[in-house]
Structure 1
C-alpha cells in the first residue's frame, strides 16, 4: 500500500483544509454509514460470534488509516455475505475468523498478481453501474423490509415507531434541499439520546471496561466451515462491490478534489484489514460503494471524516467494549432504517450517468469531456447504443435484486453484454473466412 510521500502530503493538506472549513459536514458525513455497520455488528455480537470491542477498535484503526492514505471518506463495512451466513447459522468465533482470513488471503493474491486490475479493465461499465444501482436498491429494500416494516404506529416503544420514521424521512427530504443541515449528525444524536433513556430505564447503562484482546485460532473443522460455507460466497461480492465498484464510484465523486485510489490499493487494504483483525475476534470487514455513497450524501468530502469516526470508535471500543451491546440494541430502528434508505438512494443515483460523460468509458474512449458528470454528451451514442447499455444495466440490476446475489447479477449482465456482440463476432468471422484467414 506504499504511496509517494508527495501524495501523502497532499492528502494530509486536503484532509486538514476540508475539516477546518467544513467540520460540521465532515462529522455528519462520517456517521452516514452507521446504518449499515451497527445492525450487523450488534447482531453478531449478541450471538457471541464476534467481539464488539475488538470490532470497534480494529474498525476504528482501519478508518484512521484509510483516511490518512486515501483522503476520501472510504467506509469500513461488514462483509455482508459472511455476516448473513454467520447470523443464520450462529457461527462460532473460530468459524467467522476463518471466513474473514480466507477472503482476505484470496484478495491479497488477486491484488499482488494483478488479477484485480485485469478484472476491472474487462468488466463493461454498464455492468458496474448495474452492480452499484442494484446494491443501492438492495439497501433500500432491506431497510424497508427488515427495519422499517415491523414498526407500528406507537410500537415497539415511544422512541421507535412509524411516527418517528416518517419524521426522519421528512427531515431527510428537507435536508436534500438545504444541504448545510447536518442530517446524519442530528438524527444519530437524537437516536443515541433515546437509546440512553431506554437503556437507563432498563438499568443496563454501559460501564467502563478496558479492552482485553484475545487471539482466536480456528480448528480444522472451523476452517472448513468458515471458508466453504461463508468465505467463497463473499469473494465475488467483495471483488465487485467492495473494490471495483468503490474505485469507479470514487472516480465519479472525487475526480476534481483528490486522486481516487487504485484497484490494487483498495484490494490490499481489504486484504490487510481481515488478515489482521479477524485473529482478535473482530468482524470481517471491507470497503463498500454503498457506504461511500452514504457518507458522501451526508456531507463527507475528505478522509478527515472517517479519521474522526475512527478516533470515536477506537475511544469507545477501548473504554466500554462489550457493555455497549444493550445500548446499541435499543437505538431506534426508525432512524437507522431511514439512514440506510438514504444511502441506498445515493448509490442508486449513479445509474443516471450511464449514457453521459459521467460514464468513464465514454469520457475516455469516445471523446467526451472527462470530469463533468453533469454534462450530457450530444450525438456520441446512437439511440441503439444507449438502449443496449441501458438494457445491460437493467438486467444486472433486476437479477441482482431478484436473487439477492451480486455474482448472479454480474453474470447475467455480462451474458447480456456479450449477446449484443454476437452479430459483430459473426460478421468478423465471415470476413476472416472470405479472406482466407480462418480455416477449418
Structure 2
C-alpha cells in the first residue's frame, strides 16, 4: 500500500511539474482526441442510444482518474465497433442494448485481466504484429478523416465549414510541426465552438445550449432479447479491438512515446476498461475504452502528462452536470473541416511508431553481459525484411477488411510462416551436417 501511494505521489509531482512548465501545450493536447469522441458520441446521442449528460459526467470522471493513476495522457474513447454497429443498424438500437454490449465487453476484459490471460497474450504476440496494429489503426484514422469528414465538404459552402477552412487548418498544422508548444488543438477548438455557435444561430430548428442539471437515471441493460442477443454480437465484434488496440497497443505505445514514464501494464489497462463499462453504463453512459489512436493524438498536440486529461475530465464533468443534453446541437454543428484535419494528424502520429520496428523496438534490447546498461540486438537484412513484412501484413489486413481481428490473424499467420521456414531450414542443416563431416573424414 505504501509503495502504491508513493507511486501515485511521484506521478502527481510529474503532472504538476509538466503543467507548470507548459500549461498551454497540456491544455491543447487534452483536446487532441476530439476527432474520435465527438462524431460517435453525437451520433449515438441523436438516436437516443446513449444519454449525453451521463456520458460527459462519467467520461469526465474516468479522465480524471486515469490522469491521476497513470500519469500519462491516456484517452477515454467510445468503443468504436459497438458505436459503428449501433449507428449503421437498420433500426436504431435501444439504449438498453448498447449499454449491455459495453457490459459484456467489460465483463470479458475483467476475466482476461484477473486470470492473467492478458499477460499471456502479450508474451505470445510478436512485436511486429503489435506495431502493425498501431500502423493499421493510424492509417485507418487518416483514411476515415479523408473519406468521412473532408471528402464530402464543398469548397465555399457553407461559409463556416468547407474545404477552404480545412486547407487553412492543414497549412497551420504543417507550419507548426516544429513548434511543440504551439496550442494548435486549443486554438482550433475555440474557433470550432464559435463557428458551431454561429451556425446554430442561423438554424431555426437548432437549440442553443442552456442550463440543465444532470439527473442520474438507472437504465436496465437488455442482455438477451428472446432467442437473440444483439448486444452480445456487438460485444463479440468489439472485444478483439479492445484487447489489441485499447490495451496491448496502448501499453506498448506509451513506452514508445513516453519512455521516461512507467508504462501502464496490460492488466491495469484491462481493469480500467472493465471498471468504466461496469459502472457508468448503468446510467446510460456510452461504452468506453482507451485507445492507441487517442494517446497518439493527445501526444501529437502537446500532452505529456496526466494533467492534460485531468483538465479535460473537469471540463467534461462540468459540461455534463450543468448542460447535458442541451449540448447536442452545438456538437452536431462542430465543423467537420477542422475536425477532419485533427483526425488526420492524429492518424499520422500513430502510424509513425512503426518507424522504430527495426531500430529501438523493445524486443531488440538486451542486457549487456556483466553490465547494467543495455544494447540493441543487431538484425540481419533478412530479419529486417521479415519484421517489416509482418507489420505491413497486419496493417494491410486491418485496412483491407476494416477489422482489427482479421489483420491480427493475418499478421500472426505471416509471422508463423517465417518461423516454420526457419525451423525447417535449421533442422535440415542439422541433418546434413553429420553426413558432411563423415564424408570429410573418409577422404
Fold shared, TM-score > 0.5 on shorter chain: yes
Task: Indicate the residue corresponding to 2:353 in structure 1.
Answer: 350
For the residues of structure 2 that align with 1:138 and 1:371, how far apart are their CA atoms?
A: 38
- CA drift of 1:76 comes to 0.3
TM-score (norm 2): 0.92
Task: Indicate the residue corresponding to 1:215 in structure 2.
Answer: 218
Task: Indicate the residue corresponding to 1:341 in structure 2.
Answer: 344
Task: Indicate the residue corresponding to 1:197 in structure 2.
Answer: 198
| 2:277 aligned with 1:284 | no
Conservation of the 8 A alpha-carbon contact between 2:367 and 2:373: no
Decide whether aligned partners of structure 1 residues 24 and 43 sit closer, same or farther in structure 2, where only a CA change above 3 A counts. Answer: same
| 2:97 aligned with 1:95 | yes
Task: Indicate the residue corresponding to 2:238 in structure 1.
Answer: 234
Q: Which of 244, 264, 271 pairs up with 2:267?
A: 264
Conservation of the 8 A alpha-carbon contact between 1:133 and 1:349: yes
- CA drift of 1:199 comes to 1.2
- CA drift of 1:263 comes to 0.8
TM-score (norm 1): 0.93
Task: Indicate the residue corresponding to 1:52 in structure 2.
Answer: 52
Task: Indicate the residue corresponding to 2:436 in structure 1.
Answer: none
For the residues of structure 2 that align with 1:107 and 1:139, how far apart are their CA atoms?
A: 25
For the residues of structure 2 that align with 1:44 and 1:34, how far apart are their CA atoms?
A: 15
Task: Indicate the residue corresponding to 1:318 in structure 2.
Answer: 321
- CA drift of 1:430 comes to 6.3
What are the Cα deviations for residues 143-193 of structure 1, in whole angstroms up to 9, with x where unaligned?
Answer: 1001100000112x1100000000011111011122221100001110001
Decide whether aligned partners of structure 1 residues 44 and 119 sit closer, same or farther in structure 2, where only a CA change above 3 A counts. Answer: same
Task: Indicate the residue corresponding to 1:177 in structure 2.
Answer: 178
Task: Indicate the residue corresponding to 2:21 in structure 1.
Answer: 21
SS in 2 for 1:391: helix
Higher Cα Rg: structure 1 or 2?
2
Task: Indicate the residue corresponding to 2:106 in structure 1.
Answer: 104
Decide whether aligned partners of structure 1 residues 191 and 417 sit closer, same or farther in structure 2, where only a CA change above 3 A counts. Answer: same
What are the Cα deviations for residues 273-299 of structure 1, in whole angstroms up to 9, with x where unaligned?
Answer: 000011111110100000000000000
Aligned pairs for 1:20-419 within 5 A: 20-89=20-89, 90-155=92-157, 157-202=158-203, 204-222=207-225, 224-256=228-260, 258-357=261-360, 359-364=361-366, 380-419=378-417
Conservation of the 8 A alpha-carbon contact between 1:152 and 1:161: yes
Task: Indicate the residue corresponding to 1:426 in structure 2.
Answer: 424
For the residues of structure 1 that align with 2:274 and 2:430, how far apart are their CA atoms?
A: 45
Decide whether aligned partners of structure 1 residues 13 and 108 sit closer, same or farther in structure 2, where only a CA change above 3 A counts. Answer: same
Instruction: Give the root-mean-square deviation of aligned CA atoms.
Output: 2.3
Task: Indicate the residue corresponding to 2:439 in structure 1.
Answer: none
Give the number of equivalent residue pairs: 427
SS in 2 for 1:202: coil
- CA drift of 1:31 comes to 0.3
Decide whether aligned partners of structure 1 residues 270 and 252 sit closer, same or farther in structure 2, where only a CA change above 3 A counts. Answer: same
Where structure 2 has 5 or more consecutive residues not aligned to the other structure, the ranges are 434-443
- CA drift of 1:427 comes to 4.8
For the residues of structure 1 that align with 2:99 and 2:2, how far apart are their CA atoms?
A: 27
